[in-house]
Amino acid sequence: MRLKILQENILKDLKKVNKLPVIKKSIILFLVLLQLSTILGVSYVFGANLFPAKSVLNLDYSHDVLLSKATLEEVQEALAIEPILAEQEKVERERDAKIERLLNFLKKQKSPVATREYAAQIIDLSDANNADFRIIVAIMGVESGFCRVPVKKNGNTYNCFGYLNGVKYASFEDAFNNLIPKIAVQYANKYGWDFVSLAKAYGQHSWEKTSKYMYNWASSI
């Protein structure tokens, strides 16, 4: 519509030009021609649809184009990692199962360390020192009733293992961090499930009874 109006105005201007002197005619004709060329240029642009009203761009894409294909080396690396991740998940599941079993056992014994945090600490420290956590807990049962009666020396030492090293610990957590590695190396790893030899080495006076207690407790966890 706007182009049509411009064209009509130009035609009117051309009619007026014929009545003007030659110099003025030349100037006005030049301006009219300039205006006309602009109109023709604009008409061409819109006629050629160089600036369409609506976008006709194809925004669809192919993953094969935008994403580079995995190399053979990358595929092999991914396949190599898969069994490692599967093994890690298996280890985590087994750890969670052990924590749950130990927690339930400690709750039955009305132990003050019957929390998930303490159960995880006992298991992790035992595993870190290649010891069966059930043996560690069995020793703890004989020596302190599963921490119900820890060693007393000028107050609570939080020592659940009857380990007479003269140290007074600030908490069960501190005591476990210090004592479980020692007991794992000196007793649990050395004697394993031979609870008779373990009871004798530990200096338990009624070793006939205590060895049976330890075996029964360890078997029930």
Give the total residue count for the chain.
221
Asked if the model's pLDDT at residue 15 lies above 70, the reply is no
212/202 Cα distance (integer angstroms): 14
Q: Amino acid letter at 92?
A: E
- Predicted local distance difference test score (pLDDT) of residue 13: 53
Average pLDDT over residues 62-73: 60
Number of Cβ within a 10 Å radius of residue 102 = 23
76/98 Cα distance (integer angstroms): 34
Strand positions, DSSP E, the chain = none
Average pLDDT over residues 54-83: 64
Asked if the model's pLDDT at residue 42 lies above 70, the reply is no
Asked if the model's pLDDT at residue 162 lies above 70, the reply is yes
* pLDDT top residue among 61 and 79: 79
- Predicted local distance difference test score (pLDDT) of residue 192: 97
User: Is residue 65 very low, low, confident or very high in pLDDT (cuts 50, 70, 90)?
Assistant: very low
User: Is residue 77 very low, low, confident or very high in pLDDT (cuts 50, 70, 90)?
Assistant: confident
176/164 Cα distance (integer angstroms): 14
Helix (H) or strand (E) holding 140: helix 133-144
